[in-house]
Amino acid sequence: MPCNLHHRKMLKMTTHDAPPSEVLPFTSTRVLNAPLDLVWKVWSEAEHIQHWWGPKGCKLEVPLFDFREGGFFHYAMVFPNGTRMWGRFLYREISAPHRLCWHNSFSNDTCGITWAPFGKPFPLEIRNEVTFNEKNGQTTVVLTGTPHGATDEERAVFNKMFPEMEQGFGGTFDQLTAYLKTIAEPDS
């Protein structure tokens, strides 16, 4: 199932003028001071992703990391107050080292899909696509997400939650940036 996003018409709209049946893609971009092979490695190996994925302030536990098309990344985000929130990726496409596509969901401890814990009718699944492109030793990461199989109400909530998603992915990308600095090889 291709994960291509065709959204020229939607780019001209803002989150406030999109009708409920329309969905705007959420996009977050980060330029990382690391080569493509290292960036791909930290996205594709459990020993690395557990150190940076998720919101700031949580510890990640990874009971399952099956990095292949049709495989799952199942994780628990454990917050300082002890709250545990489960999530999962279902990998749909892997085109090393330039592109990943997966369906992201909140989940339970057995990897089943659950509703978002924050009380709003958020879509059960978000289709995420990440592209990686290197130039002059830096890698640009572009994450684009859209609801998958969502109702009009869920799409409307998704469209209105961009500020929260920007904050969440911004924090995740900040952690990725910091983690890359800890594992980068020193200049010779």
Domains of the chain in start order, with CATH, are 21-183 (3.30.530.20)
Smallest CA-to-CA distance from 126 within 106, 147, 111, 142 is with 147
Q: Rounded mean pLDDT of the chain?
A: 89
The residue-averaged pLDDT of 6-11 equals 29
Q: What percent of the chain has pLDDT over 90?
A: 81
Is residue 65 predicted with pLDDT exceeding 80? yes
> What pLDDT score was predicted for residue 4?
33
pLDDT bin (cut points 50, 70, 90) of residue 184 is confident
SS3 58: coil
Contact 99, 132 (CB under 8 A): yes
Lowest mean pLDDT among 9-13, 110-114, 141-145, 158-162: 9-13
Instruction: Please check the confidence at residue 20 and state whether its pLDDT lies above 80.
Output: no
Contact 150, 23 (CB under 8 A): yes
pLDDT over 70, % of the chain: 87
Token pair 């496409």 in the structure block, residue: 93
The structure tokens listed for 5 are: 């996003």
